[in-house]
Chain A
C-alpha cells in the first residue's frame, strides 16, 4: 500500500512538473549575424531586399514575420511609402529554407508587416544560416515624416535615411497567430531587428570639350638632325616662334633654319597644319613677286625651283638673271603624312604666296607630346646674281582640326 502510494506521488509529481514546463512560455532567442542587403539602396528606388541570419533556437519554422519600422522599437511607426506590391508570390534565393515560402503582402500591408509562410515548415538547427530574398520591393524615401526612413542627426542635407526591420521566426504559418505577438509570444522562436539605409544617388558629370592647341617652337642653332634630312641648322642664330633669322648669306652656301610644331587636339578626325607666304599680297601666283623682298624695289628671293606638289632634291640657284631664280627659299617637313614622304622625304619644295600647303597632318587626335611634334625646315641659298640687300618676308601657319 505504502509502495503504491509512493509510486502514485512520484507519477503525479513528474506529470505536474512536465505540465508546468509546458505552460511556461519559451523566451525567443536572438537571431544573429543578421542583415538585410538592398540591391538598390536608392531612396524611393526599387529592388531586392535580401535577408540573411543565423538561427539560435532549433525548431520547425513555419512562419517568418518582417515588420518594417522607422525606429528599432516594435511599436514604432512604419515607413508608409515602402511597398511590397511588386513582390512575387514566393520568396526567392532560399538558403537553409526549402520549397515555396509564400509572401503575404496584403494582410498588414498598411503597417508594412509582411509574412512568409510554409505549412510544412522547415526544421532548422542551431547556428544554421537561413537566407531569402524579396524582389520588387519599393524603398521608402528619405523623410522624417511617416512616409520614409529617418534622417540622421547632423545631416543637414538629408543624404540618407535609416529604417529598421524586426524579423521573427514562428512555429506556425497562421497569419492571425503571427499578428498578435503578445498573446502568441510562445510561438516566436527567434527574433532580431536589423537596419538598412536608403541613400541619395550621386551624380558624376564631366565635360570633355573640343580642344585644339598649336605651338610653334624655335629650333636651336647648329642642331644636327633637326629634320629627317639630317641637316644641320644655321650656326648663327636660333629660330624663334616668330622669326627665321638666316643672317648673312654666303653665295653658294645654303643656310638652314627650322620650326618645331606641336598640335594637341582631341579632334576625332584629326587636323592639318598648312603654310603660306604672305610676303606678297598682290594676288600674283606662287613666287612671281618673290618670297623674300629686298629693301630696294625689285630685289627678291624666289621659292625653290620645285613646286610644292613635286618636291625636288636641293639644288643651288643657277639662273644668271638677278631676282629671277637667283635665290631660293625651300621648305621641307619631316611629317610623312604630307607630300614629303617616301622618296620625297629629303626633298624640298617652294614656299608659295597666298597658297596654303600642308606641312603637318594627322587623321586622329594628337597628344602633342615631344614624339608627336614635327620639324618644318627652311633652306635659303643665293648665287652671285642675287643683289646684295637685306631681304625679309612673312609667312603664316594655319592649324585646322576636323571633328
Chain B
C-alpha cells in the first residue's frame, strides 16, 4: 500500500513538472519609459517608470535595475536609492509593494506577496514613481560632459525565478554649465599655508610697500571657485612680464634658489644675486605658494614652500571634477638683497580659469 502511494506521488510530481508552463524565451517589455523630474546630476529627484507587460503570466516580482549602460550592469556610482520612497503602483493589485532591500546595488523590486500569484495579462500597463532618488553624476554612465545617459532594465519574474519579460530604457542627466571664480584680498597676519602674511592685499592690488634689505614680505589672495564642470577646472597664475622698476633695466626675478621649480617648490630663501655693469640677476625674488593640495605632486605637501612667479603660467588651483565651492590661498613672497637697485617696482598679475566640459 505504501509502495503504491509512493509511486503515485512520484508520478504526480513528474506529471506536474511536465505540465507546468514554462516560457521558452523572455519577451520584450513594451512602452517602457523612465522620466525624471529635474534630471539634474547628484540631485534628489522623482523618477517615474511605466511599462506594459508583453506576456500573460503569473508574476512573483518585477526587478527594476538602475545601471550604467548596455552591457554594464553596475550602479551609477553617485545614484542613490537609499532614501527613496515609492509612490502608489498602478496596474498591479494591492498585493504588490516596492522593496528597496537591494538599493545599494541599484535594484528596486516590485514584490507580489501572493503565495500563488494571480496571472497578469499581456499589455497590462504598470507604472510607479519614487521620490528622493539621488540622480547619477555626469560621467557616471556614458559620457563625462554636461549630459550623461544612464539606463534602467526591468525584468518580470515568476515564482520559480524564470524571467518572463525584459526591457531597458535610458534616461538623461544634464545641467547647464556654471562657473564662478572670485578673488579676495587677505588681511595681514593671516596664516595661509604655513605662512603668516605681513601685508594686506586687495582683490586687484598686492602692495608690498617699502622693502628693506633681506626682509621678506608676504601677502596673499584668496580665490573661490564653484563649478559644475564634470571634467573639472584649472586656475593658473602668471605675471605679465616682470615686476619692473621705473628704470626698466631693474626687475625682480622669479624665486630661484638652485633646486626650486614650480613643480618642486622650496622654503623661502633670500636672494643671493648681484649686479654687473649691465644688469642685476637674482637680487630680488618674487615667489608664490598655493594651499591647494589637489594640484598634487610636491604641492600635495608644500606648507611654507614657494615656487617661482614669472610670465610662465603656473597652476595654483585645480579640481578633477565638480566643485561646490573651494577656497584656496595663493601667497606671494617678495624680498630683495642689498644689490637690488632702489626704485619703485610694479607688475601685473593675471589669473586665468579654464573649465572643461
Instruction: Give A contacts to B, CB under 8 Å.
Output: 30-35, 37-38, 40-42, 56, 71-73, 152-155, 157, 159-160, 162, 164, 192-197, 199-211, 264-266, 268, 364-368, 403
Contacts and interface: CB of A to CB of B under 8 A. Distances in A.
Given A197-B353, A203-B204, 9 more contacts: A34-B356, A42-B350, A195-B355, A202-B349, A205-B345, A206-B211, A211-B212, A266-B213, A366-B338
Given A206-B211, A211-B213, A266-B338, A200 B183 contact: yes
17 contacts: A35-B354, A41-B350, A56-B143, A72-B176, A154-B182, A192-B145, A192-B357, A195-B179, A202-B206, A203-B348, A204-B243, A205-B207, A205-B344, A206-B346, A207-B211, A268-B275, A364-B275
B123 interface: no
A197 B211 contact: no
Nearest to B243: A204
Interface stretch (B45-53, B71-79, B329-337): B329-337
B240 interface: yes
Contacts of B252: 206
A157 B146 CA distance: 30
A201 B356 contact: no
Interface of B: 143-147, 176-184, 202-214, 217, 221, 231, 239-240, 243, 245, 252, 275, 284, 286, 332, 334, 336-357
B210 A209 contact: yes
Nearest to A52: B356
A266 B340 contact: yes
Contacts of B182: 152, 154-155, 159-160
Contacts of B351: 41, 199, 202
Contacts of B349: 201-204
Contacts of B332: 204
Given A200-B204, A266-B342, A38 B352 contact: yes
Interface class of chain B by DSSP: strand
B199 to A, nearest CB: 10
Contact of B144 (A32, A202, A365, A368): A32
A208 B336 contact: yes
Contacts of B343: 207-208
A159 B145 contact: no
A344 B286 CA distance: 44
Given A199-B181, A204-B208, A266-B341, A30 B347 contact: no
A193 B146 contact: yes
Contacts of A205: 205-208, 344-347
B344 to A, nearest CB: 5
A206 to B, nearest CB: 4
Contacts of A197: 179, 181, 353
A8 B207 CA distance: 86
A231 to B, nearest CB: 30
Contact of A201 (B177, B334, B348, B357): B348
Contact of A30 (B145, B221, B239): B145
B177 A195 contact: yes
Contact of B181 (A33, A162, A206): A162
B183 A206 contact: no
A206 B176 contact: no
A32 B145 contact: yes
Contact of B146 (A42, A192, A206): A192
A207 B205 contact: no
A211 B286 CA distance: 20
A206 B334 contact: yes
A4 to B, nearest CB: 33
Contacts of B240: 201
